[in-house]
Chain A
């Protein structure tokens, strides 16, 4: 028989939930509701009044080529940076789990990048990737004009992907390592005795057993790549050159706060929210099927 604490009256349970509900209401439902309202009106920035415009804001956003460009850029960014961050972290964690020389050292070191604030790391990467002064200056000296994030959109995109992936490798690494270490040694040893090599053991035993972690990180990485990319874009490229790195979250900021178009920005954040919800539902619906929890 499972032990369970029960309350005689359901009101007590509600009371315990109230603080949390209040927090969620204040910091999520209320602002989200406000955003929905703003997205259906034209707001004067100084609060002088507003006009009900129905779905006009959404119509004008969705008919703008710049906005579709921004969606494409966000999806490209999300796909590549999530792929990179998870792949590199997976390899590093697998190596650390094998107790190779120095694994204790980099187990600690690899966690640090996640602790660095996005703008700070963006500043560091701006120096590293500066075409005239940084590390890439050496490459540019060998092949002049090879690296030019100031004018070449693909180079600028590569810069922000590098910075974002670098940060999330640390985060993913922690989870992967924990997942690997939760696998009973006996399973791997048994496989080894049966004569399977490192790669074979990885694919047949370790990988299937860590699929819940992979799935969790996939959801988190994709969500974060839509949201946490702001600081990196702001410091490294400001959305340029020619809107090549104008990710959705950055466009919301520049339209809303720099351009004082609160209504347009509210509509964009609703679209972004819906996009993340749809992506997450998609992942749970189609990818989770292949996850083995037990």
Chain B
């Protein structure tokens, strides 16, 4: 018996000494990066990781796709509660408030400083930086994949009604859609009204028109923020969309019905859509032969002073509770991603835009925006930098905003199905959204947003 005991002890000691000795031999320090992109974009991220690993010898990043943004956040929370969190994680824009209150991160600016990297935060486009920064302007995470919403329009269809430019105001849009319909186009404009479209229909619209979504400067100034979209220009906008839908000028297109908006536009079925600049590449790749199209900034109502549109996408957070070696690697990785050359690689292979001015300048200098497939994407930068961000157009800092977006989809569907009036639907959106915000505030008593 005692022989066995000693044998086991020796074996255990041996294993420990081997495992202690190993890191000395295996050179690069490994750390994990979890992200939420899949398909083609996942391959681009994996190439990015490979490029980082080959660019130096000290660190090795292990990149794992979790499928989508929701799953990434859910899995990271589960992993964090079990103490097995990744070092770097990609969290989508609307998860920012949840992350800030989590107490589970290491501030990105402090991480870079501790590891001796100098990052010029004023180099970020203010419209992008402010979305992720605290109300005092500190960067807790690094902007990563970024986009904004644009209007895609079919030039040939508009030529038929004597237009060579995209409509700039919603009044013009209304007239043009009518003209397109009269010219025989079955589907002048396509929209969808699920939770996802809260982004272009409610959030982007409100920012461009400098209309608040919630009190407390869209939540930046406190957890007691409550929705107020039922009192802004948004109501008029939904009313117009509904009217155009009733007149047959707008059709609803979604994957569940057989064809989503982008497919409807690329196939020439519909002539106008509002979508992310990220779909620029998709339209280029999948368009019907000979489709003559372009992108423009989202329209405004006549007499509106245009403000910057909002950024969409995700940022990179560094989580707490990891070793110094892992943090060193993470800092090197974030520094690598910050590099203008990476910006060029990233934007060339995806539809995302550069997040820094230097990245944008580097791409311009390389002639990126002059070449055919990428021409037009600079419109996104123009839209994002249309003005200095105001207190309201910085972004949206609301808890459980995913659920508010879901509520947006629910109420829009009720409005478009004629179950409720436009005002009643949006009032319900505010009421139910406030219940979600109320609950979020109760969950974090005595805590304030940084």
- With A130-B256, A130-B258 already in contact, the answer to whether A241 and B417 are too (CB < 8 A) is yes
Size category of the A interface is 35 or more
- With A153-B417, A242-B411, A258-B402 already in contact, the answer to whether A130 and B257 are too (CB < 8 A) is yes
B70 touches A131 (CB 8 A): no
A48 touches B102 (CB 8 A): yes
Q: Which of A115-171 contact B (CB under 8 A)?
A: 126, 130-134, 137, 149-153
Instruction: Answer yes or no: B98 CB below 8 A from chain A CBs.
Output: yes
B400 touches A46 (CB 8 A): no
Q: Which of A5-55 contact B (CB under 8 A)?
A: 42-48, 51, 53
CA distance A67 to B435 in the complex (A): 13
Q: Looking at chain B's contact residues, is the secondary structure mostly helix, strand, loop, or mixed?
A: helix
Size category of the B interface is 35 or more
Partner of A137, one of B101, B256, B258, B439: B258
* Segment of A88-96, A259-267, A268-276 in the binding face: A259-267
Scoring B residues 248 to 261 as 1 if CB is less than 8 Å from chain A, else 0, what string do you get?
Answer: 00001010111100
Scoring B residues 406 to 437 as 1 if CB is less than 8 Å from chain A, else 0, what string do you get?
Answer: 10011101101101000000000000100110
B409 touches A240 (CB 8 A): yes
CA distance A151 to B193 in the complex (A): 10
Q: Looking at chain A's contact residues, is the secondary structure mostly helix, strand, loop, or mixed?
A: loop
Residues of B contacting A259 in the complex (Cβ-Cβ under 8 angstroms): 400, 402-403, 406, 436
Residues of B contacting A254 in the complex (Cβ-Cβ under 8 angstroms): 403, 406
Instruction: Answer yes or no: B104 CB below 8 A from chain A CBs.
Output: yes
B400 touches A66 (CB 8 A): no
Residues of B contacting A42 in the complex (Cβ-Cβ under 8 angstroms): 439, 442-443
A44 touches B409 (CB 8 A): no
Instruction: Answer yes or no: A238 CB below 8 A from chain B CBs.
Output: yes
CA distance A60 to B444 in the complex (A): 17
Most chain B CB neighbours (cut-off 10 Å) among A44, A51, A255: A44
Instruction: Answer yes or no: B23 CB below 8 A from chain A CBs.
Output: no
Residues of B contacting A202 in the complex (Cβ-Cβ under 8 angstroms): none
Residues of A contacting B194 in the complex (Cβ-Cβ under 8 angstroms): 238, 240
Residues of B contacting A51 in the complex (Cβ-Cβ under 8 angstroms): 442-443, 445
A152 touches B417 (CB 8 A): yes
CA distance A51 to B256 in the complex (A): 40
List 6 contacting pairs A-B, 8 Å CB cutoff, sorted by A. A47-B77, A48-B104, A60-B435, A130-B258, A151-B417, A243-B410
